[in-house]
A and B are shown apart, each in its own frame.
Chain A
């Protein structure tokens, strides 16, 4: 039953499916965060919705699902890489590349940069561990309650050049990863037919640049004081 999944094409198909799911997450995550340009209330409402939907259960379902997808994607990346290395035990003295993009040849590098960033990102925003000073004060009085002020956390976070720099660097890695990956899955899943591959070659770069633009816009707007507390 699981035999086909273990073949080269099976593993690539799973890589493709998990990759697409991660791309969808990245796009959704970015769209939500762009609400920062709609003002304090918009993004805080959105954050509250995420935390409270389904009595707080939804976010855990999403987190666990995402974790599973992420771990699968990463494990397969390492397995595929190891097999590919083994398939050519003696390397060429002179190696030439005709058309493989730099992005496609450095998926592991950009992937690992993202992984390191992700650990930092969760420590920073989700756990509030790297910058407690900013996060402790980020509350919005609402009647009796004090609610988390995500807007303030984000703006004050990115006003610090080092923090903003780390995020921008990670966006660069993500962009390069998606340059190849966000179109490559179409080939892996056998969706390219006829002339479609010529078009699908653009899918990766288009998604990559859109994600780069959207995410860096948020960071830069805060860093440069266009969006303020």
Chain B
């Protein structure tokens, strides 16, 4: 298969970028999107040109490193991650537009690579539980109902890729924060810090320059881990309860 890629090229944080047309030739349908880019980069390097920078690590859909907005959709036309997107999902000869995550809070470092450390700072501000040091607690001393465990599992599936921010019309990080706040807030270990966590993580989210949720649910539609925007309602509930409770 052959494609014409239109790729965002940007030398570094401070340089202006622009879209550049780059041909992708002799691509096999069963190559992943990233393997296709590897081939294109080999070609570019053989011609003495700079390869396209893009994020990737596990290439098996679990780390959340890969990104890319492909033809306007984060992680491309299928629901999974970009590394799990295959060229057979595209038409031979198609023009494919590849852009980085676009958000003030995710500045472009180079080409398609963005700095997503804003997510790390949100986690640092409250995405943890405090545990006393000392002897480890015996397993199963804290019983957790299966339903609760399953729900916590659903939210903990978030790999922090940032597709929700990229898809949101307002570059809001609400789905990410909702998943992280709910994951810990569902479990008994997360209860003592439930209010302060919600307040702190939302404050950090705002400070990092993410936008405001307008309940359009583009985030859940592209989330590779299918995290539901219902969790955003729960975050709103937790936040409003925490903000209105005495002592906060």
Contacts and interface: CB of A to CB of B under 8 A. Distances in A.
Interface stretch (A95-103, A121-129, A212-220): A95-103
A11 B236 CA distance: 11
Interface residues of A, number: 42
Interface string A16-52: 0000000000000000000000000000000000000
Contact of A11 (B99, B170, B212, B216): B212
Nearest to B17: A90
Given A84-B171, A87-B170, A92-B99, A13 B240 contact: yes
B221 A99 contact: yes
B179 interface: no
A4 B198 CA distance: 11
Q: Which of A87, A91, A96, A189 has the most B CB atoms < 10 Å from its CB?
A: A87
Interface stretch (A136-144, A158-166, A192-200): A192-200
B97 A94 contact: yes
B221 A197 contact: no
- Dominant SS among interface residues on chain B: mixed
Interface in B168-223: 169-172, 174, 199, 202-203, 205-206, 209-218, 221-222
B236 A188 contact: yes
Pick the most buried of A11, A99, A180, A193: most chain B CB atoms within 10 A of its CB.
A99
Nearest to A96: B72
A97 B235 CA distance: 24
Interface in A148-177: none
A191 B73 contact: no
Contact of B170 (A88, A101, A194): A88
Contact of B236 (A93, A97, A187, A194): A187
Interface string B209-248: 1111111111001100000011011111111100110000
A100 B216 contact: yes
Contacts of A228: none
A84 B214 contact: yes
A9 B221 CA distance: 21
B56 interface: no
